[in-house]
Amino acid sequence: MTTPVAVIVDAAAYAQAVEDAVKASAAYYEGGTSVLDDDSYDRLVRGIAAWEAAHPEQVLSRSPTGKVAGGAVEGDVPHTVAMLSLDNVFSPEEFTAWTTSLARRIGHDVTRFSVEPKLDGLAIAARYTRGRLTRLITRGDGTAGEDVSHAAGTIEGLPAELAEPVTVEVRGEVLMTTAQFEHANQVRTAHGGAPFANPRGASAGTLRARERAYTVPMTFFGYGLLPLADTGAPLTDRLGDLAHSGLMTLAAEYGVNTTATTAVPGITADTVEEVMARVKEIAALRAELPFGIDGIVIKADLAADQRTAGSGSRAPRWAIAYKLPAVEKITRLLDVEWNVGRTGIIAPRAVLEPVEIDGATITYATLHNPGDITRRDLRLGDHVMVHRAGDVIPRVEAPVAHLRTGTEQPIVFPQDCPRCGAGIDTSEQRWRCANGRNCHLVAALSYAAGRDQLDIEGLGHTRVVQLVDARLVTDLAGLFALTREQLLSLERMGETSTDNLLAAIGAAKDQPLSRVLCALGVRGTGRSMSRRIARHFATMDNIRTADAEAMRQVEGIGTEKAPSIVTELAELAPLIDKLVAAGVNMTEPGATPPAPAATDAAHDTREAADTPAEAAGGPLAGMTVVVTGAMTGSLDKLSRNQMNELIERAGGRSSSSVSKKTTLVVAGDGAGSKRAKAETLGIRLATPGEFATLVADYLG
């Protein structure tokens, strides 16, 4: 994908573009927050470069195209070796062209590349003298940078002392992980400061700030290691001959954090095809990473190749950045909507001036909860940084505070439920309508009737609206009391549809407890948690008599969740009673109830002996299985939830994310990041067909 170029029509527009770029770049490096998002900046600089190519005699000296890092702040510590930037490619074709020109330059094809994520932070050089961290320097203009040694203690991954007494310079990127960024903005706004728009801006501002009343942690990832002159340390002499991959191993041995600790470790690849496959893998994992990346850096791995290729004034010829599409854009916050969900939670949603991010037009973004809005100090009319990666719901990262004009308005929080006008329970982070799940009965019933819950065919959203509007149903139990006459009285309800719907409602009474529990919509418990609770307790009676301590024995329920689930179930007691009276099944087939009066010790042993794996002893016993992509063959009709139910019936544990604990990944057509991660971690993969054979006895 090629970033489009800003079109510059004449010399005046060119001069303006140069000014804009210089201003944006200065704000980014000095103030810590950009006025242009990355994509707009790239477009602008490409436009400037295009115009300069056609008018070489009119190039302005301030143009960002000739400078390292687009015009950095000059510092006073000279770099021993220039800290260069990287040239970019945007497509496989551009990448292949780069490898061809590199091969021409060095006289042969590169036989080993290193491929690593391009970390989205700030370049920094950390000097170690005989193993002790002595100086931290920013890149500055590439030849000299600013001394930021004051930040040393706040950067995780950059130890004060190395494992060996070597005199070296470690180069790498300082950034904030998503969690560090959230924390930094909380602390900053609590101290009356304006929030940073994104993690990179936050790192830039934090790194340069000297007299703050608070410190916030950042993270370092090393991507370079060079010897520093020190007669007392002959150890470092050998660095010059090591390949890049070898240097990274050494840096890690010294105790420096590198990408090796992440889900996207640097690897070596022997061919262009292997490089491209890795580029795809890293791109697929991007949305799940706990830190920002804006591309993939590909380097000739061998020191000899690097030496022969050499460097230009701006960038080395032996490395290239394969840029990924921007995931962040600045747009305006036009409004905040408050929507009530099926459990009565009132959730704020940002209405944005439409903005295109990686091919999708974004108009809405999540704002989590009211406390989050306050913490971020968001106002209507603000320019906001919006983040969207992969299929994750877009989120407003923060306001771009220095773009404020003074006309922004406070966001008004609702006093009453925006749906039914009842009071609001604000005692928890997430606000809730005082009518709870009765507030949005249509949503609650539609969810309960859904395919993964009671699976009542013919009870879609429109039908539920009719039932609720006609007051034929006032809660979930009401569905089971519906009569033929009542249904026939509804518009567009013929005899056949009525009989079919009644049959479907009747059949729903026999659903396993796990699905009934899920249909109730206990907050904090989705499908898989409902299954775990149902299997653990086996009957609704057992669930209802469980106190928080007993609830905590269920895998995945911690000390925080346990009491809230118990409270919620107590709140649901009258409804559960009605369901029991209506004849709804309240047991989980195949599950055995826990031994009474479980203590922690008893629980520890039971957990080992009583997982569904052991209980069922099926072909997946002891395995943690993740399903991804489209299922085919005999699994074709199964929803993801049904696949998970099948896994658990066959003795395994289902999970939605791939981790080191995963034992098997069932990867169907179109599998993306999860398959890539499984390959990276060396986890066994199965096609839907292979899996179907494995669990054949448990199908259907």
Q: Which residues bind ligand IVH (CB under 6 A)?
A: 84-86, 116, 118-119, 123, 173, 223, 297, 316, 319, 321
Q: What are the two backbone dihedrals, phi and then psi, of residue 628, each rounded to the nearest 5 degrees?
A: -145, 155
Pairing of strands 664-667, 624-628: parallel
Min. distance of Cβ 257 from ligand IVH in angstroms? 13
Give 84 or 518: the residue with its C-beta nearer to ligand IVH. Answer: 84
The amino acid present at 51, given as its one-letter code, is: W
Distance in angstroms (rounded) separating the CA atoms of residues 488 and 498: 7
Let me know how long the chain is.
700
Min. distance of Cβ 8 from ligand IVH in angstroms? 23
Min. distance of Cβ 425 from ligand IVH in angstroms? 46
Catalytic residue among 67, 118, 323, 674: 118
Catalytic site includes residue 637: no
Min. distance of Cβ 86 from ligand IVH in angstroms? 4
Give 308 or 663: the residue with its C-beta nearer to ligand IVH. Answer: 308
* Sequence-ordered strand ranges (E) for 120-167: 122-129, 132-138, 144-145, 155-156
The amino acid present at 623, given as its one-letter code, is: M
Min. distance of Cβ 160 from ligand IVH in angstroms? 23
Residue 234: how many other CB atoms lie within 10 Å: 10
Q: What are the two backbone dihedrals, phi and then psi, of residue 655, each rounded to the nearest 5 degrees?
A: -145, 155
Give 121 or 131: the residue with its C-beta nearer to ligand IVH. Answer: 121
What is 353-399 written as a DSSP string? EEEEETTEEEEEEE---HHHHHHHT-EET-EEEEE--TTSPPEEEEE
Distance in angstroms (rounded) separating the CA atoms of residues 422 and 419: 8
Min. distance of Cβ 262 from ligand IVH in angstroms? 11
Give 259 or 641: the residue with its C-beta nearer to ligand IVH. Answer: 259
Give 72 or 398: the residue with its C-beta nearer to ligand IVH. Answer: 72
The sign one gets for the Cα dihedral 254, 257, 262, 264 is: negative
- Tell me how many degrees the CA angle 678-682-686 measures, rounded to the nearest 5: 60
Give 173 or 377: the residue with its C-beta nearer to ligand IVH. Answer: 173
> Residue 221 is inside which H or E element, if any?
strand 218-227
Reading the block at residue 581, the tokens are: 């009276």
Min. distance of Cβ 116 from ligand IVH in angstroms? 4
What is 158-207 written as a DSSP string? S-SB-SS---EEEEEEEE--HHHHHHHHHHHHHTTPPPPSSHHHHHHHHH
Give 37 or 173: the residue with its C-beta nearer to ligand IVH. Answer: 173
CB 12 within 8 A of CB 60: no
Reading the block at residue 696, the tokens are: 């054949």
Min. distance of Cβ 292 from ligand IVH in angstroms? 10
* Sequence-ordered strand ranges (E) for 549-633: 624-628
The residue written with tokens 């013929």 in the block is 494
Min. distance of Cβ 129 from ligand IVH in angstroms? 23
The amino acid present at 680, given as its one-letter code, is: T
* Sequence-ordered strand ranges (E) for 251-292: 267-269
Give 44 or 576: the residue with its C-beta nearer to ligand IVH. Answer: 44
Give 116 or 328: the residue with its C-beta nearer to ligand IVH. Answer: 116
Q: Per DSSP, what are the bridge partners of residue 138?
A: 124
Helix crossing, 513-520 with 441-449: angle to 10°? 160
Distance in angstroms (rounded) separating the CA atoms of residues 142 and 123: 10
SS3 15: helix
> Residue 328 is inside which H or E element, if any?
strand 328-340
Which residue number has the CB closest to ligand IVH? Answer: 123
Min. distance of Cβ 80 from ligand IVH in angstroms? 13
The sign one gets for the Cα dihedral 513, 518, 524, 528 is: positive
Give 123 or 477: the residue with its C-beta nearer to ligand IVH. Answer: 123
Active-site amino acid positions: 118
